[in-house]
Structure 1
């Protein structure tokens, strides 16, 4: 007996990744929209623990990090003072890189 199986495929309208569940495609579209406005936190080079905790909390972009308070971050499970110090250090490095890359900042 031959059976016909039809499946629906959903795609993110921004990156064109394909998903079998609509919810997954919508999540991807939301993340892609955020990434168009601000870089992903992966460019910071955070340690794995800090990076993973931020991602689980839905903090995906540099703008998300800057909009989040230290108090909120410290309330995240597993995110302690060492993670906060790592995050602040990496943000300072990123800021320094952008200042060096900006020709208008030279004296």
Structure 2
């Protein structure tokens, strides 16, 4: 039981505002990863995704046209939190919706 409680705490803390990075600017820490993502906003211009990351305080801005994200629709910049497990992404998306990102959702992608 203790391990489950610690795991849930880690998921909730990871979904809290903190620091984010901008993968769309060529951040060298970019790692190709499949998993569940909480997505707050996607737009054809980068500004809305950067604004969402700044407002939320954590997550990444990704360029969906990059080869690193083949399962995202090309031509968008998205503010994402992840990758993580399904439950973690769903919790993060719920927290985003509760805090002003009404169309936030969880998605499995690479």
Q: Name the TM tier (shorter chain).
A: under 0.3
Structure number with the higher strand fraction is 2
Q: Which has the higher contact order (CA 8 A, sep 6+)?
A: 2
Q: Which has the higher Rg, Structure 1 or Structure 2?
A: 1
- TM-score under structure 1 normalisation? 0.25
Structure number with the higher helix fraction is 1
- TM-score under structure 2 normalisation? 0.25
